Amino acid sequence: MATTPSSARILPFPQVTGILSSTENGDNYYNNYNKAKHDYETSLKEVEKAYHDCFCGTLPQPIRVQVLRWLYEEVQPDLIVAVMEYTVCTAPRPSWAYVAAVMRAQLLRGCNTAEEFASSCREHQKELRSSKLQRERELDDLPY
């Protein structure tokens, strides 16, 4: 093993074999391991700011842990912010429990971005309107 004048060891570059060294589709060691990593701190600060704006307080530690778990699961911070804003605007009693329930529902549907959430909300509103119209028509048809 080679050393430098300061007696630091020079390690050889790892030899990659198998799946990581395939070059037919551009997959190699550099592309697989040196991709830009998601900046969780910036995303967390974005969510903290939105939490402060929506709920007028600092983000408590249990909620911070839950937000970080979502971020590690590749949920976009704009989705978390959109759900918080939705909760404050539409919930009868806005709370973090309501935010968490809406987030669970969206994650079960496979929504990971704010755009998907917005389209899901529009679809839900259409369903509510159509069911309300259906009930009104049924009431109009009653004989009494």
The Cα 15–Cα 95 span in angstroms is: 52
Least confident range of 24-33, 38-47, 56-65, 129-138: 24-33
Asked if residue 23 belongs to a domain, the reply is: no
How is 16-65 classified by DSSP, letter by letter? P-GGGG--TTS--HHHHHSSPPP-HHHHHHHHHHHHHHHHSS---HHHHH
Cβ-in-10-Å burial (0-12, 13-18, 19+) of 131 comes to exposed
- pTM comes to 0.65
What is the total residue count of the chain? Answer: 144
Percentage above 70 pLDDT, the chain = 72
- The Cβ of residue 49 has, within 10 Å, a number of other Cβ atoms equal to 12
Asked if residue 11 belongs to a domain, the reply is: no
Structural domains in the chain (count): 1
The Cα 14–Cα 19 span in angstroms is: 14
Asked if residue 67 belongs to a domain, the reply is: yes
| Side-chain half-sphere CA neighbours of 49 within 13 A | 8
Asked if residue 56 belongs to a domain, the reply is: yes
Asked if residue 82 belongs to a domain, the reply is: yes
CB distance 37 to 44 below 8 Å: no
Asked if residue 16 belongs to a domain, the reply is: no
pLDDT band of residue 34 (cuts 50, 70, 90) is very low
Q: Is residue 80 scored above 90 in pLDDT?
A: yes
Domain span at residue 128 reads 40-140
Asked if residue 119 belongs to a domain, the reply is: yes
CB distance 44 to 68 below 8 Å: yes
